[in-house]
Structure 1
Amino acid sequence: MTDPNFSIEFFPPKTAEGADKLRIARGKLAELRPKYFSVTYGAGGSTQQGTLDTVLEILAEGHAAAPHLSCVGGSKESIRAVLEQFKSHGIHRLVALRGDLPSGYGGAGEFRYANELVEFIRAETGDWFHIEVAAYPETHPQARSPQDDLQAFVRKVQAGANAAITQYFYNADAYFQFVDAARKAGVDVPIVAGIMPITNTTQLMRFSDMCGAEIPRWVRLKLASFGDDSASIKAFGLDVVTQLCERLLAGGAPGLHFYSMNQAAATTAIWNRLVTPQ
């Protein structure tokens, strides 16, 4: 098979121990030769320095890296300063998001939506950055309707996005239907499928409830039946997510973006199965 483009996401570690563990995981994942690594950006930019530090470390290791940049709660002046910082370090790729306000934060800042951030980045920096934006095959949890959500996505692309990464999902039909709708709305940029390996039932349920990702009933029931049997959860999750990836790639997905949770084992196992079918 021709290897599709794929990328791997990390979050900036909060402790020295976490940083060491991430270096080990990153070393293993780098062997898969992803197109780039991305690094998340906490609510309201709360991990801004950690994001940059992690990105610079990845770049120093010889790998491509893209910081996430969220705009809600930010000012044009603060976003401009971050962009200049990225440029000064030779960073050419970023993931532009609306993001979430930190708990207890009062103001929304000068940006309300991600399309305004993309438009601002283009106005400030021209074509310096390759900009990825988010897409939601199962509809953003705060959207008024699927149609409104699709139009929000279209506006981000029209503002200057080069490509998109989806929220994770476990229903391939949702992805293909979303891509078809986006194409009919005039979107022609690559829409890369976001992939969340299944390794921990409690964690998966919590994340999915927060971000609006649907876990199919049969998957929920099967995971619940395993209780605390971690080995069975991981083996089942590996089968489910690998089959999802196979269907996505066979159906024309241009790539996969793995939400690694700073762990190497699950992403590596899925990718090895895709490259060397069992």
Structure 2
Amino acid sequence: MTTISVPQLEEARRALEAPLFADVGGDMEVSFEFFPPKTEKMDAQLWDAIRTLEPLGPRFVSVTYGAGGSTRERTHATVARIQRETSLAAAAHLTCVEATREEIDQVAEDYWAAGVRHIVALRGDPPTLGAKFASHPGGYANAADLVAGLAKRHPFEISVAAYPECHPESVDTVGDIDNLKRKLDAGATRAITQFFFSPEAFFRFRDAVAAAGITAEIVPGILPVSNVAQTRKFAGLCGAAIPDWMDRLFEGLDDHPAARQLVAATIAAEMCRRLYAGGVKSFHFYTLNRAELAFAICHMLGVRAKPQAVVAAA
């Protein structure tokens, strides 16, 4: 006689009750993150991704920003073009790295003049990998300081970062949440989390944030994984745990990029479904300038093209 385990029975019950995504009705908001292109080929790839995702009607799209003048200029050019040529609301990343207050304030003024009303305010990472962050002489000391400075200049919508599994430099979770509270108290609108691969990690963080008296929106950041080695590098920098089962799912797929994408979309969509079941109605996707995975995941979640966005993009 074959013995059926409890996990098997649980999976059987779920499978028999309803199709996998039958209970996800598309009543959610999504946003997407891009990075500024460095070459003409990358620029073409970025704009293909933007145009593919635009009809989904995201609440905003953000563009990352790093230390160094050329990266800042590329970010500004990309954000300004999105704001100018698409129906999308563009959000620009700003960091405290290697710039004075006056320089950062000028960047913010340039964004405001370009019609950009949303800033993702971050402390930023040192330009040298593994180096300890040190505020620039005459610069903003940290993200909370930057938020306060932006709030004084214009009524920007401001998003900040949050870390469900704790920032690598934080002493403990309590200190990490205290830092988040300072950023929100300084004038931030919402927090977008670093990526994670366990719904439970997000739910524990959400409960801890609520217990600390934080009522602002906490949006989960979703990274669809198609390159495990690259993701492991990202995860090591931000303190995100990659579960063993994820490694096993990607074993043997190094030479099968299409299969990797199918697995990646399934993993991310299932995690979003579980987050949705736990009351989450907003998701922020780290696209890495590729639309296929984010588009497929949104489709499975019931997010479809918005008629008005299609008309605006035509």
State TM-score, norm by structure 1.
Answer: 0.93
Q: Which amino acid aligns with 1:87?
A: W
Alignment of 1:34-113 (within 5 A): 34-43=58-67, 47-60=71-84, 61-103=86-128, 108-109=135-136, 110-113=139-142
Contact 2:54 2:87 in 1 (8 A): no
Distance 2:240 2:69 in 1: 24
Distance of 1:21 and 1:240 partners within structure 2: 24
Map of 1:108-127 to 2, 5 A cutoff?
A: 108-109=135-136, 110-125=139-154
- 1:6 and 2:33 matched: no
Q: How much does 1:56 deviate?
A: 1.2
The residue identity in structure 1 corresponding to 2:144 is N
Indicate the structure (1 or 2) with the bigger Cα radius of gyration.
Answer: 2
Aligned residues: 275
Q: CA shift at 1:173, angstroms?
A: 0.8
Residues 45 and 176 of structure 1: CA distance in aligned 2, closer, same or farther (over 3 Å): farther
Q: What does residue 30 of structure 1 align with?
A: 54
CA distance in 2, matches of 1:122, 1:143: 25
- Which residue of 1 is the match for residue 19 of structure 2? none
Correspondences of 1:139-218 after superposition (within 5 Å): 139-218=166-245
Contact 1:55–1:65 (CA under 8 A) maintained in structure 2: yes
CA-based RMSD of the aligned residues comes to 1.9
Aligned match of 1:237: 264
Give the structure-2-normalised TM-score: 0.83
Distance 1:44 1:113, change over 3 A: farther
Deviation at 1:271, TM superposition (A): 0.6
Q: Residue 159 of structure 2 contacts residue 188 of structure 2 at CA under 8 Å; is this kept in 1?
A: yes
Is 197-206 or 263-272 further displaced after alignment?
197-206
The answer for the alignment partner of 2:12 in structure 1 is none
Q: Secondary structure of 1:43's partner?
A: coil
Q: CA deviation at 1:267?
A: 0.4
Partners of 1:234 and 1:5 in 2: CA distance? 23
Structure 1 stretches of 5 or more lacking a match? none
Worse-superposed segment, 106-115 or 260-269: 106-115
SS in 2 for 1:191: strand
In 1, the alpha carbon distance for the partners of 2:195 and 2:236 equals: 12
Deviations along 1:241-268, one digit per CA (max 9) or x if unpaired, are: 1110011122122300000000010001
Unaligned runs of 5+ in 2: 1-24, 304-314
CA distance in structure 1 between the aligned counterparts of 2:232 and 2:184, rounded to whole angstroms: 31
The question of whether the paired residues in 1 share the 8 Å contact of 2:26 and 2:301 is answered with: no
Distance 2:26 2:302 in 1: 9
- What amino acid sits opposite 1:78 in the alignment? E
- Equivalent runs, 1:227-266 vs 2, <5 Å: 227-266=254-293
Percent identity, aligned pairs only, is 39
AA partner of residue 119 (structure 1): A
Does residue 270 in structure 1 map to residue 297 in structure 2?
yes
